[in-house]
Structure 1
């Protein structure tokens, strides 16, 4: 049964019940359209986005309405603050905020829809030289975002040192639960000991997007050359050490191929990665908020190609 627009958005105590609600647009689309109507926006041809974490609906071919449940309010704070802070500071297009508000305790944003093709649709089919080209552009974009001042994003919780220390405390339990092979778990204590020394805890923090992956950027083609055309989804932004944002493209896109790795790191500003850098990246990959090596390392048969974490870091970032 379709809910009437006058009904209210419900309260959910946990993410599972919210996801069930999100997967049934008949329960919330009328309310979303009522919000859009209240801002005088075009609701003639709405398009529900099936993927993503929040309630997202396209309004015509120009705007997107993104509604955040109260239990994910931190994502709203992150997205709103990031879009405001990065507005006009990047060469790469990002969404602009057109309107914002709150309905029944659910904050929302109306943002512009970027043009381009979703990276995940294009990336698997790109020739190797163009994959290297895109990865260099991603490295350059990460560096560009990190040159922007933090502004109010400096107040995002938790602070970097507290986040890292919590990740370190839970690291072994997390990867044991996720089924990381014993030969890699065996080196975890040594790696975490190195991590405490290699990962700066009190260096000046920068803006970290957290997920530079094909699902979160757009590509466009000109003369059969694909280039980065837009960046979106800023719900997981935090402030911290700069190398953290190399992990998404390293895991999902570089695939341990030297040309791709070199393009990404050089675009970011690193040349000739030494053992300390690779060790730090390996530690950060295991400490990432979404870390799951078995699901995220896109190197075929990598579990059999490395005998320990040192060999694994060479497999991922070696020349």
Structure 2
């Protein structure tokens, strides 16, 4: 008999889903948690709430992680499942393994192995520059490894690239207005994008995680140094055709306007022609403006301001200091 969790709405509105994810007490989820433990014969142990991210997360005795995804953005849970299946154990850095998945009342759930180590976000700001340099180089090598994987031509994660880019262009101005970007900057976006010789297609299919930043990276401290040990949260991953779409996030959220870190990331990645750094900067700025779900006010808060930010040229030099 199918389990029915009557308290969980089958077709929630966006605000209702956000409220359940953000504000529901742990007790609300207990019937579902115990049902899943029994259904999938999960280990005995207690569930602990993880209050981060846009979905409901529970840890089972530091062995497993359960992610419960509202139907409003169920594609994120499916991307998690598809990514782990596609990548398997091909990478030198650990990724979660899917133990079980399914739906309850139209909400998708995924049970995954919990990666060892510490979230890089918990230690990043306290690391010295030399430690950050090591981790940035490791991440660049990992991205290179990721982008060199041979992928099936017809994998379900592959997007129609032309349609994908067109949709990003259509959503660009409305999104930045919604996110409260300064009106004078929003007014400059269309002219800035049209004035650049922009290349969004690298001519080959790439697995793009999309969110390689400290909150989605795990590290372990060994022999006096932190080392990259795991990558998680594949909810926004796609198979697409732009290396810059992948490199953009660590450049913003890990390099944070530091020239040495930015150059180290690009050098360790090594699959990109960086001879003309001005063109690269313009292309990255354009990708940053187009990137799905980008909150540019938050982006700017992550990079120290070193000058005026009255136009996108000034901003690009601060974000991408090559």
On the 8 A contact 2:5/2:105 being kept in 1, the answer is no
Number of aligned residue pairs: give it.
313
User: 2:82 aligns to what SS in structure 1?
Assistant: helix
- 2:310 counterpart of 1:315: no
How do 1:162-241 and structure 2 match up within 5 A? 162-182=163-183, 184-194=185-195, 197-201=197-201, 203-240=203-240, 241=242
Conserved 8 A contact 1:206-1:242: yes
Q: Deviations over 1:48-90 (max 9, x none)?
A: 1111222221112211122222222211221111001111110
Q: What CA RMSD, in Å, does the superposition of the two structures yield over aligned residues?
A: 2.3
CA distance in 1 between partners of 2:210 and 2:113 (Å): 22
Aligned to 1:96: 97
User: Is the Cα contact below 8 Å between 2:37 and 2:43 reproduced in 1?
Assistant: yes
1:186 to partner: Cα distance: 4.8
User: What are the equivalent positions in structure 2 for 1:1-319 lying under 5 Å apart?
Assistant: 7-8=5-6, 9-22=8-21, 23-24=23-24, 25-151=26-152, 154-156=155-157, 158-182=159-183, 184-194=185-195, 197-201=197-201, 203-240=203-240, 241-269=242-270, 270=272, 271-272=274-275, 274-297=277-300, 298-301=302-305, 304-319=307-322
Cα distance in 1, alignment partners of residues 184 and 72 from structure 2:
38
Task: List runs of 5+ in structure 1 lacking aligned partners.
Answer: none
DSSP 3-state at the match of 2:181: coil
TM-score, reference length from structure 1: 0.89
Distance of aligned partners of 1:82 and 1:275 in 2 relative to their CA distance in 1, 3 Å threshold: same
Q: Which whole-Å CA distance do the structure 2 matches of 1:53 and 1:158 have between them?
A: 23
Is the Cα–Cα contact under 8 Å of residues 250 and 261 in structure 1 kept in the other structure? yes
Provide, for residues 239-293 of structure 1, a one-character-per-residue CA deviation record: whole Å limited to 9, x for no partner: 2211101121122121211111111111221455522111110000011112222
* TM-score (norm. length: structure 2): 0.89
Q: Aligned partners of 2:155, 2:4: CA distance in 1, in Å?
A: 38
